[in-house]
């Protein structure tokens, strides 16, 4: 009997789930992060975050969402931008660092990355959500986002928002059920695989006639490329979920060409390997 048949037989023998009238969190559902997942928000422990001397203080982890900010900060450095220095601290989400009071004060949603801009020490600015952070930095330094109103800026912002809406289907959907769920279930894996491949096809069709997400030439490289590459570029390069063969990523030639081009950038290499200082022992 094949492995697939065994898996199907196991699922066929399961009793169908009937949702109760009122959901109650009364058992551990398993999975990689089950020990820290709760249906409530807010701080769970007191934790003062460390603070360095640079204008920007980054609190993050080198996940696909986290490396987006690393890469942009390194691209700003690569471009010779003054005033974009930063200190980077590790928020270990497996240990619950994201639920410390200091982090929750910056991001009430308890997700990485989070950033504080101390350029004006009397008026520090807190930013959370990777898309918001990238747009904030790009606009602050007038780099990697078209500043003038018009189609170019609209294209950039549209693709940034596309990633923010699409990636949860890839990460929380496909990635969770394919790689992290306590057991393999056919329906959610098929459902989210179909959507992940549809998204890759969206990108492949678009990149057939575009060097970067917003056009051709170095000046067209924007935060749209950075934010999308962190998820989909790494996916087609075999860096996420060990799912390259399963998703047949080699079929998406235009995405792979674009992904490899960005992976070769010095700032991207530094952003991926950025050493983050733990916030506690």
Domains in the chain with CATH codes: 56-145+273-278 (3.40.30.10), 151-270 (1.20.1050.10)
Q: What is the mean pLDDT of residues 24-40?
A: 80
What digits encode the pLDDT tens for the residues 125-182? 999 999 999 999 999 999 999 999 999 999 999 999 999 999 999 999 999 999 999 9
User: Other C-beta atoms within 10 Å of 4: how many?
Assistant: 10
User: Other C-beta atoms within 10 Å of 198: how many?
Assistant: 11
CA 187, distance to chain mean position in Å, is 24
Q: Tell me if residue 260 falls in helix, strand or coil.
A: helix
User: Other C-beta atoms within 10 Å of 231: how many?
Assistant: 23
Q: Tell me if residue 111 falls in helix, strand or coil.
A: coil
* Structure confidence at residue 109 (pLDDT): 97
pLDDT confidence bin for 57, thresholds 50/70/90:
very high
* Structure confidence at residue 13 (pLDDT): 57
Reported pTM: 0.92
Q: How far apart are CA 159 and CA 152, in angstroms?
A: 11
- For residue 276, CA distances in Å to 66, 258, 266 come to 11, 27, 18
């Amino acid at each position: 009997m094949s492995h697939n048949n065994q898996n199907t037989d196991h699922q066929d023998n399961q009793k169908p789930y009937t949702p109760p009238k009122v959901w109650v969190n009364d058992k551990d559902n398993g999975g990689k992060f089950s020990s820290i997942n709760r249906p409530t928000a807010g701080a769970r422990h007191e934790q003062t975050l460390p603070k360095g001397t640079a204008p920007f203080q980054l609190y993050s982890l080198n996940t696909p969402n986290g490396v987006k900010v690393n890469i942009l900060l390194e691209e700003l450095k690569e471009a010779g931008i003054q005033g974009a220095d930063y200190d980077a601290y590790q928020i270990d989400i497996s240990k619950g660092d994201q639920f410390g009071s200091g982090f929750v004060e910056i991001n009430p949603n308890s997700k990485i990355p989070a950033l504080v801009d101390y350029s004006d020490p009397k008026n520090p600015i807190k930013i959370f959500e990777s898309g918001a952070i990238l747009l904030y930095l790009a606009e602050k330094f007038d780099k990697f986002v078209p500043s003038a109103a018009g189609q170019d800026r609209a294209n950039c912002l549209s693709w940034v928002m596309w990633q923010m809406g699409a990636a949860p289907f890839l990460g929380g959907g496909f990635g969770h059920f394919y790689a992290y769920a306590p057991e393999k279930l056919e329906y959610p894996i098929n459902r989210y695989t179909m959507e992940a491949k549809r998204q890759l096809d969206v990108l492949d069709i678009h990149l057939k006639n575009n060097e970067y997400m917003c056009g051709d030439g170095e000046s067209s490289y924007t935060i749209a490329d950075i934010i999308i590459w962190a998820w989909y570029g790494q996916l087609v390069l075999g860096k996420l979920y060990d799912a390259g063969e399963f998703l047949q990523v080699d079929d998406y030639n235009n995405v792979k060409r674009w992904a490899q081009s960005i992976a070769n950038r010095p700032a991207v290499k530094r952003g991926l390997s950025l050493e983050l200082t733990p916030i506690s022992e």
